[in-house]
Amino acid sequence: MLDILHYDLLDFVTSYGVRIPSLRVTYQLFGKPLGTAPVVVVNHAFTGNSQVAGENGWWAEAIGAAKVINTDTYTVVAFNIPGNGFHAREEDMITNYQHWAAVDVARLFNIALKEHLGLNSVFALVGCSLGGGIAWEMAALAPDYFQQLVIVAADWKATDWIIGNCLLQEQILKNSTHPLHDARLHAMLCYRTPQSLKMKFERTTHLPTQLYNVESWLLHHGEKLNKRFSLSAYKLMNQLVKTIDISKDRGSFAEAVAPITAHITIVSTDSDLYFVPQENRDTVAELREMGKPVDYYEIHSIHGHDAFLIEHKQLEQFLKKIF
Ligand SMILES: N[C@@H](CCO)C(=O)O
């Protein structure tokens, strides 16, 4: 039985000016009891959740006893993006996804850390993919609150490429008769690479069905997500990815990032076709020009965006410099 904790907020107003009368933020704690050790906050990706460690933990290779984010040393806090449906009540689902932006989730998480958990500062904030975008937004909102900001397979903004793909996802979600299933097929192609699929399938076929194995694999992922995720959650996550932008209402990236005191670490994957590495190389160059403390690492992999869930050994080498 998972120990899912929660914090209820009243009268939250999103950046679109919409008042949400009551909202539940759920989270899990791992490792040392709160108040006895430095805190590491870990933000999940698109279809992830607060189960970051332990059995079925989506980053169990990185977080746990004697892992690089060692739960014998740290308290790990992992939130669920509200509306992701993970162990949620029906009333906690968010159906009006267009009222939300990534910055709203960031504000909620910061409120939960400060007001609910009573933390005066946080040692490290780590975010993967969408969770990395939310981590950028959290740091921009609370620029001297986090000592280490660790961005993995993400960006501080949704690029035109991401926004275009989000539109395609939205259209599939609206128009398909199997919306979640079909949206996942396209998403999986964004998360992998031609080389990764070639290595895995080599154009082989599955004889009884006559399908190419790449087709069976994509359809399997569609079915799998259909069973474990909800349509309203998927629509919300798609909207959140599209709205990542710490420069919004702040003038520019430089102005948004100027007050951030955290040491920044950015990890990209050289073959990521979704949050492409060149964007992060440019971000790092700009941060260095500003004199910001920043480290940059690239995972070498053929697997593309999903390499942050696959290339554990390389990630460990980078993360161990922080943890
Ligand atoms: N495989 C990841 C990719 C998005 O970062 C997910 O489904 O959440």
Catalytic residue among 50, 129, 268, 301: 129
Q: How many CB atoms lie within 10 A of CB 8?
A: 10
How far, in Å, from the CA of 184 to the mean position of ligand 1?
A: 10
End-to-end CA distance of the chain: 29
Atom of ligand 1 nearest to the CA of 188: 1
48 lines ligand 1 (CB under 6 A): yes
CATH topology for the 5-158+245-320 domain: Rossmann fold (3.40.50)
Between 209 and 58, the higher pLDDT residue: 58
Q: Are 311 and 299 a contacting pair, CB within 8 Å?
A: yes
| Domain span(s) for CATH 3.40.50.1820 in the chain | 5-158+245-320
Choosing from 306, 310, 311 the residue with most ligand 1 atoms within 8 A of its CB, the one to mutate for a pocket test is 306
Q: Is 104 one of the annotated active-site residues of the chain?
A: no
In the predicted model, what is the mean pLDDT of residues 237-250? 98
CATH class of 161-237: mainly alpha
pLDDT of amino acid 1: 61
pLDDT of amino acid 92: 86
Give the Cα separation of 198 and 173 in Å (integer).
28
How far, in Å, from the CA of 178 to the mean position of ligand 1?
A: 19
How far, in Å, from the CA of 130 to the mean position of ligand 1?
A: 8
How far, in Å, from the CA of 70 to the mean position of ligand 1?
A: 23
134 lines ligand 1 (CB under 6 A): no
The pair of three-digit structure tokens given for residue 250, joined into one six-digit string? 């702040």
Sign of CA pseudo-dihedral 276, 278, 282, 284 = positive
pLDDT at residue 57 tops 90: yes
156 lines ligand 1 (CB under 6 A): no
Residue type present at position 315: L
pLDDT of amino acid 184: 98
Lowest mean pLDDT among 89-98, 125-134, 164-173, 294-303: 89-98
pLDDT band at 207 (very low <50, low <70, confident <90, very high): confident
Choosing from 42, 43, 46, 301 the residue with most ligand 1 atoms within 8 A of its CB, the one to mutate for a pocket test is 46
How far, in Å, from the CA of 290 to the mean position of ligand 1?
A: 32
47 lines ligand 1 (CB under 6 A): yes
Sign of CA pseudo-dihedral 309, 311, 312, 314 = negative
Give the Cα separation of 86 and 228 in Å (integer).
9
Q: Are 132 and 152 a contacting pair, CB within 8 Å?
A: yes
Q: Is 305 one of the annotated active-site residues of the chain?
A: yes
Atom of ligand 1 nearest to the CA of 153: 5
Give the Cα separation of 323 and 319 in Å (integer).
6
Between 94 and 272, the higher pLDDT residue: 272
DSSP helix/strand/coil, 275? coil
- Complex ipTM > 0.90: yes
Where does residue 54 fall: left (phi above 0), alpha (psi -120 to 50 degrees), or beta otherwise?
left
The torsion of the CA quartet 78, 25, 38, 307, rounded to 10 degrees, works out to: 20
109 lines ligand 1 (CB under 6 A): no
Beta bridge partners of 268: 298
Give the Cα separation of 39 and 54 in Å (integer).
18
Instruction: Identify which of 194, 58, 75 has the alpha carbon closest to the alpha carbon of residue 131.
Output: 58
Q: Are 180 and 229 a contacting pair, CB within 8 Å?
A: yes
Give the Cα separation of 205 and 12 in Å (integer).
52
Q: Is 44 one of the annotated active-site residues of the chain?
A: no
| Domain span(s) for CATH 1.10.1740.110 in the chain | 161-237
DSSP helix/strand/coil, 318? helix
Where does residue 37 fall: left (phi above 0), alpha (psi -120 to 50 degrees), or beta otherwise?
beta
What's the mean per-residue pLDDT of the chain?
Answer: 97
The pair of three-digit structure tokens given for residue 310, joined into one six-digit string? 């696959």
Q: Are 162 and 281 a contacting pair, CB within 8 Å?
A: no
Residues 6 or more apart whose Cβ sits within 8 Å of residue 302: 193, 195, 196, 199, 271
Catalytic residue among 245, 301, 305, 306: 305
How much of the chain, in percent, has pLDDT values that exceed 70? 100
